Amino acid sequence: MTSGRVVHTARMRFTKTFSEQQYDQALDAWSWLGLEGRKPLFTSLFGDVFLAGGDGCWYLDTIEGALTRVWASADELERELSTEQGQDRYLLGGLAAQADARGLRLGPDQVYTFMPPPVIGGGVTVESVVVESFTVAVNIAGQIHEQVRDLPPGTSITGVTLG
C-alpha cells in the first residue's frame, strides 16, 4: 500500500486517504489505544484506519473500538484487500456499495458512519449509514469507545459526553 494504490472495484473505490493534519485530529481521541509509532496509510469508507508500524500493518476498527496487528507487511495487507472477502471484512465493501446505491455520496473529507453508533445500540445496516466528516466521525467514535470500554457487557447507556 505504500505505492499509493487504492482498493476499488470497477464502479467504486473502497479506500480514501486524508492529510496528516486530518489524521492527527481524527486519531487524537484514540490515544488510549496506544497508536504511537504507527503511521496512517489509508482509511476505509467507514473511517477504519490502516496503519503501518515497524512490526507490520495495523487495523483500527472504529466499530469495535479495537486496534489489531493483522498483517506482517504492506504486501500482505494489499493482497488481502484485493480479495472480495478482505474487502467485505475490512472495508465493508458490500455495505459501502449499498450506501452508494441509496444515493449517499461522499465528499473529499467525508466517510460513512453509523447513527446511532453500534457500540451504544445502533445497527450495522445500510439504513443506519450516514455521511459525516472523517475527522468528526473517527474522533467521536474514539471518545465513545473510551467512555464505554470498561462497562460490563449489556450495560444500558443513557448518555454520552463528547469533548
Say if residue 8's pLDDT is above 50: no
Q: How high is the mean pLDDT of the chain?
A: 89
Percentage of the chain lying above the pLDDT 90 cut: 79
Q: What is the pLDDT of residues 88-139, one digit of tens each?
A: 999 999 999 999 999 999 999 999 999 989 988 889 999 999 999 999 999 9
State the virtual CA torsion across 129, 70, 80, 21 in degrees, nearest 10: 60
> Whole-prediction pTM value?
0.87
State the virtual CA torsion across 145, 113, 13, 56 in degrees, nearest 10: 0
